[in-house]
Structure 1
Amino acid sequence: MIIQHYHANLPTPTGLMRTTVYRPEISGQFPAIIFYSEIFQQTAPIARSAALLASHGFVVLVPEVFHELNPIGTVLAYDDAGKDKGNNDKWAKPLESHDSDTQALIDFVQTQDYCTGSVGTMGVCIGGHLAYRAALNPHIKAAFCLYATDIHSDTLPAQAGNNSFERMADIQGEIHFIWGKQDPHVPQQGRDKIYQQAVSTGINYQWQEVNAQHAFMRDEGERYDGALAITMYLQAVALFNRTL
């Protein structure tokens, strides 16, 4: 399916949020996927992932996850300076601001004549956390969360009682957790903690642990696993085709 893409600057309580919209060129209405990036924002690998998903018949929105902390259009490099800046942004932005960003994206989807109004989420690294976090919003029907960081450790800033781990029971849609067994950012103890919470809350979830390192979806760098990435894209598309 041939796709098009363009930028939309969406108003949020914390300022304009640059969002890139990828969608089919043909006319019609399509379900939407909010695709949350790593700390580096919309790098070339993230853009390629969004285009791949859109080509399966989805409207894919890629927001700048730290829009209030950077000039519009900021993309951080995959180097130490970019990692340090992205991590500082991660620790500076409260989860409540991510929640209002998600609501702004949902509001945008529901006013576009090329969208059905159904919304799912997907993300990698902190984006996996944000896809999970977005699923706390009852409008999100499904979430595909790849090696989501900081859920188990409760290290992202939030108001008392509003951390992502403790609020898992609020998830109403279907959520898929995918973890790399060799990922030091979410070790076995952390994965066990999240798994037990999923069991005890009774949410609708699926769980996979694969032999892979952190960022195995990123098609730049030595940790990329192309064969495994293809499998994950197929599973994500199947989930969204079924739920959206």
Structure 2
Amino acid sequence: MIATDSVADITTPTGPMRTYFYAPHEPGRPPTARAGLVLYSEIFQQTPPVRRLALQFASLGYLVAVPEVYHAHEPAGCVLGYDDAGKNRGNALKQIIPMADFDADARAVVDALLAHRACNGSVGAVGICLGGHLAFRAALLPEVRATACFYPTDLHTGTLGKGGGADSLARAGEISGELLMVFGRQDPHVPSAGRRAIYDALESAGVWFTWHEFNAAHAFLRDEGERYDPSTARLAIGLAGDLFRRAL
């Protein structure tokens, strides 16, 4: 299975949202409609590691859409660097965007997948870091049948978005699909107490979920840099693949 790529600017209430699509392709076989996945990036938008992650999921047989979450504040195609300037800009942006805008963007990209000629009408979500939290928000949409959240930040504190009043955990009971939560135990952004708060909220809300913790640091899925853990990343992606095969 190989993947083809394309780009579209999706209409949202805050302007066009550049979105990258990756579609599975089997040479010599007629096109087949596939389940769709929204893949939410880290705070840096679509870096090369995020693109490679999208290609991995596309090669598993999914139509993958990677939206630029900072589209209202940065030009299309913006990629922030894995350096102090990039981290500072990304962390600043995630605090000035209202949650209503994040949610409207989720609605727009899910609708774009559902309307895509290569999608079979089944949709899931996956995300890393900031994207793990945004995937959790996408899971609130009734059409999203399965969601994989990798080390979602600001979920236990509710500090994502303008004003820092994200109600994500309080709304966990609205999730109707299956949820996969994956964390690194050595991740300072989601410490033990934070992970416990997330687990307890999901359990109390009656969410259908699985929970996995690895001895790994934050960003262990990112396939460059000193925190990358290839064996753990392979296991984690396999868990997501199993979820999507079952639920989508």
Aligned residue number for residue 136 of structure 2: 132
Cα distance in structure 1, aligned partners of 2:182 and 2:223: 17
Which residue among 219, 239, 246 is the counterpart of 1:242? 246
Give SS of 1:68's match.
coil
Aligned-residue Cα RMSD (Å) equals: 1.3
Instruction: Decide whether the 8 Å contact of 1:3 with 1:54 is kept in 2.
Output: yes
Once the two structures are superposed, residues 143-181 of structure 1 have per-residue CA deviations (whole angstroms, 9 ceiling, x without a partner) of 000000001111123689861121111111000111111
Matches within 5 A, 1:1-244: 1-26=1-26, 27-157=31-161, 163-244=167-248
Cα distance in structure 1, aligned partners of 2:166 and 2:220: 30
Instruction: Decide whether the 8 Å contact of 1:136 with 1:168 is kept in 2.
Output: yes
Instruction: Decide whether the 8 Å contact of 1:18 with 1:63 is kept in 2.
Output: yes
Cα distance in structure 1, aligned partners of 2:114 and 2:163: 28
Cα distance in structure 1, aligned partners of 2:176 and 2:86: 35
What's the offset of the Cα at 1:25?
2.6
Cα distance in structure 2, aligned partners of 1:190 and 1:150: 9
Cα distance in structure 1, aligned partners of 2:175 and 2:143: 10
Give SS of 2:14's match.
coil
Q: Which amino acid aligns with 1:214?
A: H
Please say which of residues 33-42 and 163-172 is displaced more in the overlay.
Answer: 163-172
Unaligned runs of at least 5 residues, structure 1: none
Q: Stretches of 4+ moved more than 3 A in 1?
A: 158-162
What's the offset of the Cα at 1:96?
1.2
Once the two structures are superposed, residues 206-238 of structure 1 have per-residue CA deviations (whole angstroms, 9 ceiling, x without a partner) of 111110000000011100000011111111111
Cα distance in structure 2, aligned partners of 1:157 and 1:214: 21
Please say which of residues 146-155 and 108-117 is displaced more in the overlay.
Answer: 108-117
Instruction: Decide whether the 8 Å contact of 1:96 with 1:158 is kept in 2.
Output: no
What's the offset of the Cα at 1:58?
0.5
Unaligned runs of at least 5 residues, structure 2: none
Q: Which amino acid aligns with 1:198?
A: L
Q: TM-score, normalised by structure 2?
A: 0.96
Cα distance in structure 2, aligned partners of 1:109 and 1:95: 21
Instruction: Decide whether the 8 Å contact of 2:158 with 2:167 is kept in 1.
Output: yes
Once the two structures are superposed, residues 52-73 of structure 1 have per-residue CA deviations (whole angstroms, 9 ceiling, x without a partner) of 1101110000000111110010
Give SS of 1:109's match.
helix
Instruction: Decide whether the 8 Å contact of 1:179 with 1:208 is kept in 2.
Output: yes
Give SS of 1:92's match.
coil
Q: TM-score, normalised by structure 1?
A: 0.97
Tell me the matched-pair count: 244
Please say which of residues 151-160 and 184-193 is displaced more in the overlay.
Answer: 151-160
Cα distance in structure 2, aligned partners of 1:150 and 1:126: 8
Give SS of 1:8's match.
strand
Give SS of 1:118's match.
strand
